[in-house]
Chains A and B, each alone.
Chain A
Amino acid sequence: MAKQYETVIGLEVHVELATKTKIFCGCSTAFGGEANTHTCPVCTGMPGSLPVLNKQVVEYAIAVGLATNCDITQYCKFDRKNYFYPDNPQNYQISQLYLPICRNGGVEIETEEGTKTIGIHEIHMEEDAGKLIHDEWNDCSLVDYNRSGVPLIEIVSEPDMRSADEVIAYLEKLRLIIQYLGASDCKLQEGSMRADVNLSVREVGAEKFGTRTEMKNLNSFKAIARAIEGERERQIDLLEAGEEVLQETRRWDDTKECSYAMRSKEDAQDYRYFPEPDLVPIVISDEWLDQIRERQPEFRTEKMKRYKEEFEIPDYDIEIITGSKHLADIFEATTAICKQPKKVSNWLMVETMRLLKEKEMEPEDICFSPENLAKLIMMADKKEINSTVAKEVFEVMFANDTDPEKYVEEKGLKTVNDEGALRTTVEKVIADNPQSVEDYHNGKEKAIGFLVGQTMKAMQGKADPGMVNKLLKELLS
């Protein structure tokens, strides 16, 4: 019988924190600024410049630690990690090695296999590096230091995961917790959440771990799943062929669906860590911890429970809506204005989801305001617009947060509720379509649908179909 292998996976997840400024200087962290316009002597490593720690970074790190059941290191320090690379202007990265801010935590994940706890070894604070752009023609590299010094937390898991499903569930869980905290938007594509996968295989039942590799450059959940599958197979093939797995860092190429070695253990760096002399220790008092604990938001599990009690909407809707903090915020704010949870939920579940899928967007990218969605719902409710028009208005609102009242007014989309005008049109439609009228009288109920359609067309869509139906029946009887 062929040998059975087990995959052992641990993750290192980097999360860019949503602070306004960098971790050690007052430069902006805004995304997409022109190259090097958000830099200063501190984040470009000028001699004599001094870093000063951004308090918000510590608070976010603690908040994430508390939400992931970690012990907070109340006496905590930064360390200096030395390496030479042009994206790192100081020739060292300020990070934490000896006393990381959070330790010994864990989160519960759910997969088809059931519930399981994934341990968190530690969370530490550090600074991001600059961005290198390689110029193939001139044989040089260009550096933009706007990202240098942007605050990161690195969440290091225990090697507790055994499949791609578990890895994705763990990442989803972390992403939700961090988004609910507002500590980061956690977008894999944009790099505000990045995952490195440490993977080894061993025969089922073996006690010792196999030799692991570290996989980098994974920027979507799908890429992560494919990389795990690919690396598992590569390692098993090596073992089956009687070869050894080398401890190395590999880069995943998602277009080619294969990985290649970046650096091996032989030329592993000696980072010569030592306590960062430019930054004083951080002492986190019980009072400070309590303050942060009190400020913790309602997380998903509690929110789901509350929705079930408060709103009469299906469990499935609750699951989808609370699956994104932004979506849940829109739901709650809109419901607070129009008091119609069921209808708000429907707009989010049907039309919003359809458009998100069509435009390949994430719920976090939704730009319409709760005020405008509430207006639209109330207009449809008062039958000022019919459902076809409402969908049309929604699409415009989805695209650029257009005020639905103004839009309907400008485009003249209001339903004609003047029964006199409608009656005249219905009478004309009846006169113009004797065949359908006859079919209807001969018992073909469906014929009325055609007549409703003709009337709606004559009214340019601005009629209430229910009212048209009623009038038709009345005039045909």
Chain B
Amino acid sequence: MANVISDETIEYVGILAKLELSDAEKEEAKSDMGRMLDYIDKLNELDTTGVEPMSHVFPVQNVFREDVVTNGDDSENMLKNAPAERDNMYEVPKTVE
């Protein structure tokens, strides 16, 4: 494996992904990520000078909606997806920025 993922990197990626990993899981994730990066290195061997990056597979553009209200109040159904609710709102652990 050419790419070695450091402990700091896996820690940082864990923070970004909001994942808490055990030491065993961290080791496994480090080796997985190293292998993924090796594969990316393989792709990088190809000369892509002058090739536009492709962001979409289908040759489709300009898919629009007209500005017309089509949805009514479906909050009763919507809130069925809430882990907890109160006063017609989603209740979540306290977050203060």
Contact = CB atoms under 8 A, between A and B. Distances in A.
Interface of A: 19-21, 25-28, 34-41, 44, 46, 52-56, 58, 77, 82, 84-86, 132-135, 139-145, 262-263, 269-270, 272, 275, 277, 279-283
Given A27-B71, A140-B94, A283 B61 contact: yes
B2 interface: no
A53 B64 contact: yes
Contact of A141 (B67, B73, B95): B95
B56 A275 contact: yes
A280 B69 contact: no
Contact of A58 (B56, B64, B69, B88): B64
A266 B74 CA distance: 42
Which 5 residue pairs spanning A and B have beta carbons closest together? A26-B70, A275-B55, A55-B64, A56-B67, A142-B89
Nearest to B56: A280
B93 to A, nearest CB: 6
Contacts, number: 125
Q: Is the interface of A mostly helix, strand, loop or mixed?
A: loop
B39 interface: no
Given A141-B95, A262-B97, A277 B81 contact: no
Contacts of A38: 71, 73
B92 interface: yes
A55 B70 CA distance: 15
Contact of A86 (B65, B75, B88, B92): B92
Contacts of A39: 74-75, 78
Given A39-B78, A86-B92, A280 B62 contact: yes
B24 interface: no
Given A44-B78, A270-B16, A282 B89 contact: no
Contact of B55 (A56, A281, A282): A281
B87 A280 contact: no
A26 B73 CA distance: 11
B63 interface: yes
B46 interface: no
Nearest to B67: A56
A293 to B, nearest CB: 19
A141 B88 CA distance: 13
A140 B79 contact: no
A82 to B, nearest CB: 8
A262 B16 CA distance: 18
A36 B75 contact: yes
Contacts of B86: 142
Contacts of A142: 86-87, 89-92
Given A134-B94, A272-B16, A280-B61, A36 B68 contact: no
